Amino acid sequence: MFFLVGCNKGDWDVSVKTKPFYKEGVSAPFVVEIKENGKAASGLSVHATFEMVDMDHGTITTKLKEKSEGVYEGKVQLPMEGEWEALLRIKNGKQTVEKLMKMQVKKKMLLRRSMAKPLRCQMFVSTKHCHKSK
């Protein structure tokens, strides 16, 4: 569970630009845009802690780096697809604000065969098995 700090002081407006995908063993990008009074909020310290909504996978925390003005990017390796929450902890030295973002994480399909790692299910004879996601 998250402990939400009751802090309404920050007028940072956060939007998710890129939500992470799920793919076994792969770190996916997570990008947020932060604005303050409608302008890009630069120079912030941003951490995101991921937690699955209906299941206990523990928490995964990642630091987001400023990519361009007000745009912060981190990488996160999630253990499965589904409904996730990211608790963003945003600091500017004077104050810390926490924002909870909910997102549906989808499984990333393999686009190119050459990039695909050998599938675990290749040892099974049944091809049907290979196409099950769980």
Determine the Cα angle at 32 with ends 31 and 36, to 5°. 155
103 binds Cu ion (CB under 5 A): no
Distance separating alpha carbons of residues 60 and 79, to the nearest angstrom: 10
Does the protein bind Cu ion through residue 119 (CB under 5 A)?
no
Helix then strand then coil, in percent of the chain rounded to 5, is 10, 45, 45
Query: Is 88 an interacting residue with respect to Cu ion (CB under 5 A)?
Result: no
Q: Is 52 in the site for Cu ion (CB under 5 A)?
A: yes
Q: Is 44 in the site for Cu ion (CB under 5 A)?
A: no
CA 117 from chain center: how many Å? 23
Is residue 60 within the footprint of Cu ion (CB under 5 A)?
A: no
When binding is defined by CB under 5 A, the residue of 80, 101, 103, 121 that contacts Cu ion is 80
Identity of the residue numbered 2: F
Stretch that binds Cu ion, among 16-24, 52-60, 68-76, 98-106 (CB under 5 A): 52-60
Contact between 53 and Cu ion per CB under 5 A: no
